[in-house]
Structure 1
Amino acid sequence: MELQQFIYVLRLLPEYLVESNWTAETNEVVGRHFESLKILLEQDTVIMAGRTTTMDDSSFGIVVFKAESEVEAEKLMLSDPAVAGGVMTAELHPFRVALSNLR
């Protein structure tokens, strides 16, 4: 069975757009989020992940990944430490990489 591709779009909760609102706990949650994505990349689940370089209400991050089904994709998205930890919201979308120079 060929895996499907999905994308989830991450947005910081508005209070975290202000750097002074970040706590040690917020930093720890975001650190776990990054480490989790690195593991999923090593497991060939994540295709790519990244974020805008702005810190305003237009800021967002994306995770492009593979899953067996939309149900499995949603489980993966909701288990993201930043989502589960209440630092970011996430929206899931079916996706297909059409062109890439990633190796």
Structure 2
Amino acid sequence: MTTTTEYSYLLRPNRPDFITTMTEAEQAVMGEHFVYLQQLLSAGQLILAGPCLDAAYGVVIFRADSPEAAAAIMQNDPAVVKAVMSAEVHPFRVSLMEGRDDR
């Protein structure tokens, strides 16, 4: 039996000044990254995603059926595939969430 678990992956830019020095090619990759996340959202897998406003890292919280499936989701992100960002995946638990846990 397959159980869906929550995971997170942390994305770090390939250089500290990435946000202010992105090339046109890197901007295109980041557009592909955004489309990829939109597809995960449409598929019901994405819980939330976004960057830190100081550009230190981005986070993606999502559902997957196994650690291997979670790793594949991270590894197929265009920002990772095209080496614009490095990433690491971890099991994650959403303990509280606005809208779901409001009383």
Q: TM-score of the superposition, structure 2-length normalised?
A: 0.89
Q: Which residue matches 1:77?
A: 74
* Contact residue 40 and residue 46 of structure 2 kept, 8 A: yes
Q: Shift in Å at residue 23 of structure 1?
A: 1.4
Instruction: Please tell me whether residue 39 in structure 1 is matched to residue 39 in structure 2.
Output: yes
RMSD: 1.5
User: Helix, strand or coil: the match of 1:2?
Assistant: coil
Gaps of 5+ in 2: none
Unaligned runs of 5+ in 1: none
* Residues 1:68 and 2:69 are matched in the alignment: no
Residue 81 of structure 1 aligns to which amino acid in structure 2?
P
How far is the alpha carbon of 1:19 from its aligned partner? 1.9
Deviation digits for residues 28-76 of structure 1, max 9, x if unmatched? 0000000110111011101000110013xxx110000000100010011
Query: Deviation of residue 16 (structure 1)?
Result: 5.0
Aligned length: 99
Q: Is the 8 A contact 2:3 2:66 kept in 1?
A: no
User: Displacement of 1:24 after TM fit?
Assistant: 1.2
Residue matched to 1:8: 9
In structure 1, what is the Cα distance between the partners aligned to 2:54 and 2:16? 15
Does the 8 Å CA contact 1:29/1:82 hold for their aligned counterparts? yes
Q: Supply the AA of the counterpart residue of 1:43.
A: A
Identity of aligned residues (%): 36
